[in-house]
Amino acid sequence: MLSELIKLLPSRRVYAHCDIPCGIYDPHGAQMAAHTVIRMTQMIDDLKASSDNAPFKERKEIIHQLSRLTHVKEDHAAACEKELQTLFADYFKDEHFEKFPELKDLIYKSFKLTGKVRQGIDMESAKALLENTQKIAEIFWQTKGFEPIRVPSGYPTEGEMVTHK
């Protein structure tokens, strides 16, 4: 009976990144996560280089640190994917995909890259993920009527962040 009553209530479709249609979207989180993937990959590479010929006790510590770095890298790759999924599913509309025909493919390739950086230690893929998230961010800001700009991130990755004027 309750389901029948619910059907009688007026409804309209809403789009948001959570259950409350607040209208707040931003590609910043995806970019931060992509930078973190790069940084964790750098730190894993540094750790691998320092592990050559290490005594057993040091190797245990290295294995522990490697596990932690890998966990963070994978978590941030998943966070990047989630942020991009939110933009794809809830923010970008048909008119955005028409105006920016490369957008769907860019997002799709980014989803594939989030999986690839979780599966291995691949700096090239990590950097490609960041570059894709930056291109998506540039398109995002254009859809909001802002001019996108790249600014130094200030992070150890020495990369950039996309924001707007």
pLDDT tens digits along 33-68: 999 999 999 999 999 777 767 777 788 889 899 999
Query: What is the rounded average pLDDT of the residues 120-126?
Result: 96
Q: pLDDT: is 153 or 11 the higher one?
A: 153
For each of the domains in the chain, give its residue range(s) and CATH number, in order of start: 27-164 (1.20.120.400)
Does 145 score more than 60 pLDDT?
A: yes
Does 21 score more than 80 pLDDT?
A: no
pLDDT of residue 22: 76
- Looking at every residue in the chain, the average pLDDT score rounds to 90
User: Helix axis angle, 123-143 relative to 28-51, nearest 10°?
Assistant: 170
CA dihedral sign of residues 143, 144, 147, 148: negative
pTM: 0.85
